[in-house]
């Protein structure tokens, strides 16, 4: 095979791969932009703003991201993660003693059973038990709302991470496309500088001497 023909084949193949990587990079960039814009718009519609620095409690001040975002509106996935874990998570843990919505159902059910038994026996502590049940139910409902909001914010954060990974993938595709383009151009230049009659010579393997 002629050397020029081989150079042209590799160069054209490299250009084809460069175009393919460029297309993949553009697709990844489009997906990343969609993810970032979607998260931004959805969070902005919630009108959630971090507490100002002067209103943060001592526990809240221990969180670097709460201090860093103090007074700022929530518009990014990282901010959503911070608010969900460091703010909502902190207050849910303090409020419920670390118990989840599901775990708080057990004491609530126990109080309902006690009330039913007390009413059956005409006990004098029925009203007291009903007050405890109201408090337990209110706490459980509050925890449910907090966990729901926290889950939605973490979903937004996860979606934003997909966008960030897509951005990284796009940069890798662009870098690969640029490298292949440069190599292909170099191959074309070499091809046209090579005499058309020059043949490609494969390197011969060194032969080891055979001892008699």
Nearest to 8 by CA among 174, 193, 209: 193
Distance CA 119, CA 108 (A): 17
Instruction: Tell me if 85 is assigned to some domain.
Output: yes
Is pTM beyond 0.85? Reply is no
Please state, rounded to an integer, the average pLDDT across all residues of the chain.
Answer: 87
Which residues form the domain of 142? 3-193
- The pLDDT of residue 207: 47
Instruction: Tell me if 201 is assigned to some domain.
Output: no
- The pLDDT of residue 211: 54
212 pLDDT exceeds 50? no
Instruction: Tell me if 205 is assigned to some domain.
Output: no
Instruction: Tell me if 68 is assigned to some domain.
Output: yes
Instruction: Tell me if 81 is assigned to some domain.
Output: yes
The pLDDT > 90 percentage for the chain reads 69
Q: What is the pLDDT of residues 116-169, one digit of tens each?
A: 988 888 888 889 999 999 999 999 999 999 999 999 999 999 999 999 999 999
Nearest to 45 by CA among 125, 152, 134, 124: 152
Name the band, by pLDDT with cuts 50, 70 and 90, for residue 1: low
Nearest to 65 by CA among 80, 54, 46: 80
Name the band, by pLDDT with cuts 50, 70 and 90, for residue 206: very low
- The structural domain count of the chain equals 1
């Amino acid at each position: 095979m002629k050397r020029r023909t081989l150079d042209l084949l590799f160069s054209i193949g490299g250009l084809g791969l460069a175009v393919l990587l460029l297309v993949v990079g553009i697709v990844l960039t489009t997906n990343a932009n969609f993810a970032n814009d979607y998260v931004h718009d959805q969070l902005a519609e919630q009108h959630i703003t971090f507490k100002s620095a002067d209103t943060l409690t001592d526990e809240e001040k221990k969180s670097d991201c709460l201090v860093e975002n103090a007074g700022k509106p929530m518009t990014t996935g990282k901010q959503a993660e911070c608010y969900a874990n460091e703010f909502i998570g902190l207050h849910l843990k303090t409020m419920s003693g670390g118990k989840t919505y599901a775990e708080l159902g057990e004491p609530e059910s126990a109080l309902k059973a006690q009330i039913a038994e007390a009413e059956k026996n005409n006990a004098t502590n029925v009203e007291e038990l009903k007050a405890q049940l109201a408090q337990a139910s209110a706490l459980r409902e509050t925890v449910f709302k907090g966990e729901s909001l926290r889950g939605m914010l973490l979903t937004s954060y996860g979606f934003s991470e997909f966008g960030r990974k897509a951005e990284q993938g796009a940069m890798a595709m662009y870098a690969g496309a640029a490298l292949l383009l440069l190599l292909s151009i170099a191959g074309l230049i070499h091809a046209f500088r090579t005499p058309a009659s020059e043949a490609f010579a494969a390197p011969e393997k060194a032969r080891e001497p055979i001892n008699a």
